[in-house]
Each structure stands twice: as C-alpha cells, then as structure tokens.
Amino acid sequence: MRSFRSFRSSPTASGVDRPLVSQRNRSVPTTSAFSRRSRVTVTAATGLASVLALGTLVVVPATAATPVAEPPAAALLAPYYTDLDLTGDRQVTTADLELLASHLGDTSASAEWSTVAAADTNGDKTITATDIAALSQRMIYDDGEFELIEASTIDMQAAMNAGVLTSVELTQDYIDRIAAYDKATPDASAVGRALNSIITVNKQALTAAAAADAERASKGMTSMLLGIPIAVKDNYDTKDMPTTGGCGCWNDNQTTTDAAMVAGLRNAGAVILAKASLDEFAFGFASEFSSYQPAGTSTLVASPYNLSRTAGGSSGGTGASIAANLAGIGFGTDTGGSIRIPSTYNQLVGIRPTVGLASRDGIIPLALSQDTGGPIARSVTDAAVALDAVTGVDAADPVTSEQTGKVPESYTSSLDPEALKGKRIGYVTTMIGTNPTNVRLWNQAKATLEAQGATVVAVEQTPAFKRVLDEGSGSTNEFKHDLNEYIAKHLAPNVAARSLQGIVDSGTYVPSRKSTYTSRDAITEAQYQAWAGPAGTHTTQIATGQALVTKMMDDLDLDSLVYPSGTPYNTQSTNMRLSPNTGMPAISVPMGQAIAADNTITGAGVNLEFLGRDYAEGTIIGLAYAFEQATHYRTTPALYGPLG
C-alpha cells in the first residue's frame, strides 16, 4: 500500500514533525477489533487531486490498490474506527479518504450528500479539508517507526497496514526475543532464574505469518488478529505442536486437531507462535513443569519483574511471556485463578469468561465444572480483541449452547473510557484484606472509580456468601474422570501414559506430584458423581452461588463486584474462588505496585478484579477499560527491553 499522508505539522516533544495520519501513542475514545472476517476484493482507486487541508497538503494516491469489501456479514470494528465508514466495508481505509476527497466542497444540498454525510464531523453541512483530516484519524494505519515493546494489536495492525512491518518480520522478532531472553538469566541475583516461559516454538509460525501477509496484500486487513503472533498455554491442542500439559510423560502428544479455541484464533488469521509453560496439568500456582526434561527433574517459571519469584499459575508461562513481550497476546486456562493469578503477578489483563462462552474441547481438563479458557494480554483492548475470536457454540462442549443470543457482535464495542460513569460498583469488605499494599491500592482504586463517576457500595459478607467463597476446587474429585475423557478422545495413540497410574509409572513428571496423582487416581466414579454429577454437591453449590451473587447484585442494583485479585506475589484469601464458584465472568486489570513504605515486596503488582453477571463480559470489559485508561498502571519489565 502506498502511503496516504497528511503533512500537517504535529510537533513531538523533540520538535520533529510527524504526519497527521500517524497514530501511534495517540489517545482515542475507544479501540477496536474485527469480530468476524470478511471477504474483500481489490479494485484500482480512481485518480484524485491533492486538496488543501488546514494550510497544508493532504495527498491521495492516484493508483493505490484499495480493498473494497463485499457486503459484510458482521461489524468488523468497534465504533471509533467504523462509524465514519463510507464504503461499506465497516472500517476506514484509503478508499474512504479517496471517496470523501472526491466530494470536497459538497454541501447538504448536493445530490450525493447522503454518500458522505457521515464524515461531516464538524456538522457544518459542508465537506472540507478538516473533515478529510478527521477521517484519516479513524484509519488503523501508521507509517512511523514501529516499536515492538508493549505494542498493541492496534499498533501492529497499523504498522502492517502501512507497509512498515510484515507479519513475518513481527513473528521473527518475537522468535528472536524468545531465543535471547527465555532461557537467559539477566538478573545478577544468586536466586534469580530464567523465565522458562516457553515450552515449544512453532516451526510453522513463519509459514503462517507469510500466509497472513499474502492475505493482507490481496484482501486488506480482514481481522484485527490477522498476522498477530499468539502464545497458548501448553494444555491447548495444536495440530502443529505437541500438547504436553507440562508433563514429560506426554512429550509425544501430537494431536491431529486444534482445540476449538485455537481453531478460532487461526480462523481469525492469528499466528500460533508458541506453547507456553504451565504448572503440570494446571494443578497449582507455582508453574512447575517437566516437559522435555530428564526423569525426576522439573523447572519453575519466573516473573519477569522479579526472577526470584514465581510468575503465578497455572498459566505462568503465558503470563511471563506476555509481560516480557515475547508474544503479542497469550491464552491461558482458569479453574480456580489460573488466568487471573499470572495476570496480577505480571501486571497484565486477564479474562476468565463465563463457563459456556468458549468451548473447552481440545483443552486438557482439570475440572470441567469450573474450567474455562481466556486471554492474557498487556491491555484491555488486546484482551477484548482476542476474546472475540474464541466464542461460539460447539456441540463438543454442550454448555456453550447457553450463550445463544447473549454474545455481542464484538466485545470491543464496550471499550468506552467513560464506562464507569453512572455505574454502581460493589465490594465485599472482607475481600479487601489487611495486606498494606492492598489496602493502599484499594483506597486509591476506590477514589479512581468514584472520580470516574461510579458509585462505590460497601457490602457486608453474609454466611451464604462465605459458603460460596469456601467451596473447594473440583480438581480433587473431577481430574481423573475428565482426564480420562480427554485421553479417549484426543490423546495421540503413540503416547504410552494413558491414565494417572500410567503417568506415575512413566517416571517423567514433576517429582513432588506423585502423591497427588496417586490420590486423584483413587477417586471412584461414585465419588465423582456425588460431587460433580447432575445432583452432585459441587454442582448444586455452584448453581446456588450463581443465583445468590446475581440476586445480591440485582437487589443492590450493582453493575459489578470488585476486589483485589491477589497480594504481592500471593493470593488474597479465597478471592479467586468467587468467579469459578459461580461460573460468572471476571476480568483482572492492574491497579498499581507495592512501594517500600508498604513493607511487602517493593515493585510487585496487584490487580483489581471486576466480576459480572453471566455473559456480561461486555459490561466488565468496559468498566476495566475505563479504569485502565484513567490509571495506566502497567509497567514494562526492566530486564526485557529491546534487543540490541
């Protein structure tokens, strides 16, 4: 694509002028994503004259190849980047600019006014150069220098649309960072260790990236995930990499199909870059794994902010790799906190969706009563973009049928910086805890919520609410049953360890887990049914918890409940159980870091979690986005800057 630039001066701090259309680091009302991919065709643009804009020149290419969409099946981008679309492809491209420029000077009395009226941004009933300049700001396009560190999906797509970057180059950059950083020990501390966040790098990643580049060249940007490199936790089946579950016993588990969520990502044009490390079979928060290691040995994942500390778990590798900028976006799984704990430890955004929003088929299970997959990202925008790609009803996971009619066209439409205004946000007082960092950050967060227009409501804990938090994880009574179902349906036939006893017999697992696997193997089918069957105690308690918390929110007219996701490198009591013990969705977003005066762990991050009603992901995404935009608490790990 030839550069479409407006040369109006936009002075930077250094005094160097940048083109108006260059958007990096520009604040916008919302960010956006495709919720579906659309077919497009390419047509030659008509020759157009340059027009005077604000005392400078707007240049429109005379022979650019401009994608023009066929009738789209669904909205492709959230409002900021779509509501001025003139050409029907539900995004703003050079085709829209060319069309508007051809109507320069038209007024509301002109015969074709309806064609361009939407772009009359100042409402003066005349198409002027000011309107063309305003429209250019709605393009995902940036021909400035691309910076990989902390780059968002918007940044990546803008650079690729401008021809500054290709997906192949982007993917290679992340591969290079993994090679340089993942096994290195940049911390001079004697107790500091390597990140150990990646188990496998996809040998087909560059091929997939080249295919994405070819699609962009022929059809334009067909998805906000087109060409974006993604790391998935190594319990998601991938047809081009083994799925080990973090266990050396399953090193050879090369499945022939993708997990349903991975298939959704590929369908959206994403590049599956790597498999991230995890706590073996997703059991705990340590993120200790044995994949591709000698029998009797294991490795721990580290937080990129403090290499002597865990990255949390069980999706610790996803958390560490995304925080250290080793991939664009990550995916984890969450049974009792395994997306949100790595998010709070690593200053990231994590979404645990409603159980039923995304299919779990092809994911190694821990406890299907509570298991769900979701994104881990550096921003709420990226998390919303990623979530759009993985929703959908799947007959292989019947609970997904519950989402019918409850999923918006795109979760990015909820990205409103004023979403907190007029909302009622509740917090259960006992969930704040007494940790000095948490108390300080909560008071700060509460003030921010109120400053953004929310009413914050204190809620006293009742005995019934406490029972919701006290309900245990399903992993004890469900793991054997659910794992056996995965083994029967998905495990590669050449894998010898085909039961919990077989895993123990293999000798290739995290050494400390033997007693856990032995005890889980002793669970009978009767015990499983009494716990997780249709009338099981756990099944009943989750339903009771969902009804109780929903009624509490309804009675108090609350839009969300909030609470700390953890403490500095630890959990906060039973807070992480509220979402899995009700099945309700939650999003975790940075709310600051510990300081020396707290006398905790200086620099450690702590997140604020927003819980919503079933299938109200859009609501809590909007609330979290507004909080994020008002605070910008995420920091970049100092040890993992640009490669030299």
Residues with a known catalytic role? 233, 314, 338
Q: Is 100 helix (H, G, I), strand (E, B) or coil?
A: helix
Phi, psi values for residue 438, rounded to 5°: -65, -45
Distance of CA 550 to the CA centre of its chain: 25
Question: By the 8 A CB rule, do 10 and 18 touch?
Answer: yes
For every residue of 359-417, DSSP letters joined together read --TTB--S-TTT-EEEEEESSHHHHHHHHHTT----TTSGGGGGGTT---S-GGGG--T
- Bridge partners for 425 per DSSP: 456, 560
- Residue burial 353-388, b: 16+ Cβ < 10 Å; e: rest: bbbbbbbbbbbbbbbbbbbbbbbbbbbbbbbbbbbb
For the chain, how far is it from start to end, CA to CA, in angstroms? Answer: 30
Task: Give the integer Cα–Cα distance in Å for 57 and 6.
Answer: 6
Beta strands in 277-348 (DSSP E): 288-289, 299-300, 302-303, 306-310, 329-334
Task: Give the integer Cα–Cα distance in Å for 291 and 295.
Answer: 10
Q: Alpha-carbon torsion 468, 584, 570, 462, what sign?
A: negative
